[in-house]
């Protein structure tokens, strides 16, 4: 992916340079990327809590039981979500995937009876100022990969980083196998 091109709808994967930081071994979906900067959500940081334990609004049971993910270190009290359905004509992240911030709209989605509906809810987000993400890409802090709904809504998030790296081919297989603490190798 060329630096300077929008990465909306792409994944950012830790290239192995971010160990010790919040972003170590993360898989981030870039939801917006333009001249104003970038906005993304970490797909593989479950908080271990359910949405109903954090949001005190009157929520449908299906929403209350949803796992809550940590979308990033910015504004961790802000809730946003990704949703997909059989057909989302106004999808704004990538085909058939939208980003939402409205609690009312989240409740409406939670109350819908579509069997194809998928939803992932986040506290906080990851953000970059204008030019910041491009600078990090030039320093090779991130590896890019096209996003898919299967990756976005993957339930096994513990191994997501390694699985996506392996999809990129043999050059990334070794990186995907490095232990969290290389001194233990």
Query: Which CATH number characterizes residue 105's domain?
Result: 3.40.1740.10
Q: Let me know if residue 113 belongs to a domain.
A: yes
The residue segments making up the domain with residue 144 are 10-184
Number of domains in the chain: 1
**Residues 3, 129, 73, 139, CA torsion sign:** positive
Q: Let me know if residue 3 belongs to a domain.
A: no
CA distances from 128 to 34, 39, 45, 89 (A): 10, 7, 19, 28
For position 174, what pLDDT does the model report? 65
pLDDT single digits (tens) 54-70: 887 788 888 999 999 99
At 121, give phi and psi (nearest 5°).
Answer: -115, 140
User: Which pLDDT band holds residue 170 (cuts at 50, 70, 90)?
Assistant: confident
Distance CA 156, CA 44 (A): 8
Residues 6+ apart with CB under 8 A from 37: 127, 128, 129, 130, 131, 132, 133
Indicate the pTM of the whole model: 0.91
């Amino acid at each position: 992916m060329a630096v300077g091109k929008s990465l909306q709808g792409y994944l950012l994967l830790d290239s192995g340079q971010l160990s010790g930081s919040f972003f170590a071994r993360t898989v981030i979906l870039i939801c917006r990327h333009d001249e104003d900067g970038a906005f993304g959500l970490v797909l593989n940081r479950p908080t271990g809590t359910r949405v109903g334990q954090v949001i005190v609004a009157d929520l449908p049971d299906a929403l209350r039981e949803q796992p809550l993910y940590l979308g990033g270190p910015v504004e961790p009290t802000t809730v946003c979500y990704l949703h997909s359905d059989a057909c989302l004509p106004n999808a704004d992240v990538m085909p058939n995937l939208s980003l939402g911030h409205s609690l009312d709209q989240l409740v409406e989605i939670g109350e819908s009876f579509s069997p194809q509906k998928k939803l992932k809810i986040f506290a906080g987000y990851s953000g970059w100022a204008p030019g910041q993400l491009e600078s990090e890409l030039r320093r090779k802090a991130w590896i890019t990969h096209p996003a898919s709904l299967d990756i976005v809504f993957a339930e096994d998030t513990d191994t997501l980083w390694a699985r996506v790296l392996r999809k990129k081919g043999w050059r990334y297989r070794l990186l995907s196998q490095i232990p969290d603490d290389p001194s233990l190798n």
